[in-house]
Amino acid sequence: MELAYLMNEPKHAYQDIEILYMIDSEAEVRTDTAFKLKENDIVVFNAGEEHAIRCEGKAIAFRLLIPYRLLGKLSSDEILFFRCNSALYTDSPYGDLVHLVEQLVLDYLNLDMADLSEASSVLFQIIRELFKNYKVDQSKIGQAAPRYHLSKIDRILNYIQLHYSETLNLPDLAERFHMSEAYFSHYFKEKTGENYQTYLNAVRIRNAALDLCPT
């Protein structure tokens, strides 16, 4: 998380969930559509969602990245998608989420590195608020964002990325995606060039390495 002066940012995307909260001034944002963030506006950029930001002068914002793999441990969904943008979706209530983010900003500014419990508590309240009020039902993601209507192999790989730390044996995964074990193995190898267990082990090793990183 960071409190920063927003600069002009070319199109980019994170693999994590990004929350952007405007504290002062305004910024123009372009995703699949264009909108303007003003003071106290809040938006969630979903994993892999490309967006560009343009600012005139100094705009102050608070940016929070929440690891997608952390959220995956809290849900059995294949894909996580949040519909949260106070500049576009004015029908949703944002007061509670904004209050929590403002509390996190205060904790961040007064952070005692010897005790992170307060900030951690607020962070998990923010996550709970996202799931409670802004998570799009699995069956409606394609309607909310057509480009998130993924192919079957994309859904399988996304599910593995979300649940790699759990028991993911091949028979159960094949059943989940309505395939026989033999066909699943053939399909997975054809689409990825690797057998399932090799791919799963690589994902686990890569994420274990990330867990060891200090930042």
214 pLDDT higher than 50? no
Q: Are 102 and 129 a contacting pair, CB within 8 Å? A: no
What is residue 176's predicted lDDT score, i.e. its pLDDT? Answer: 87
Taking alpha carbons only, the member of 131, 153, 134, 133 closest to residue 144 is 134
Q: Would you give the end-to-end CA distance of the chain in angstroms? A: 11
Phi and psi of 191, rounded to 5°?
A: -85, -30
The first and second tokens of residue 37, run together, are 């963030």
Over residues 139-155, mean pLDDT: 68
Residue 129: how many other CB atoms lie within 10 Å: 18
Please say whether the dihedral angle defined by the alpha carbons of residues 51, 82, 92 and 126, taken in this order, is positive or negative.
Answer: negative
Taking alpha carbons only, the member of 60, 19, 17 closest to residue 38 is 60
In order of 11, 116, 175, 202, 207, the CA distances from 88 in angstroms are 19, 34, 39, 39, 34
What is residue 112's predicted lDDT score, i.e. its pLDDT? Answer: 65
**H-type helices in 7-116, by residue range?**
68-72, 95-109
What is residue 213's predicted lDDT score, i.e. its pLDDT? Answer: 58
CA R_g for the chain: 19
Q: Please give the Cα distance from 13 to 106 (Å, whole number).
A: 27
Q: Are 75 and 131 a contacting pair, CB within 8 Å? A: yes
14 vs 99: which has the higher pLDDT: 99
Q: Please give the Cα distance from 174 to 172 (Å, whole number).
A: 5
- Kindly report the pTM of this predicted structure: 0.76
Over residues 44-48, mean pLDDT: 88
With 0-12 CB in 10 A as exposed, 13-18 as middle and 19+ as buried, what is 211? exposed
Tens of pLDDT, residues 168-180: 899 999 998 889 9
140 pLDDT higher than 80? no
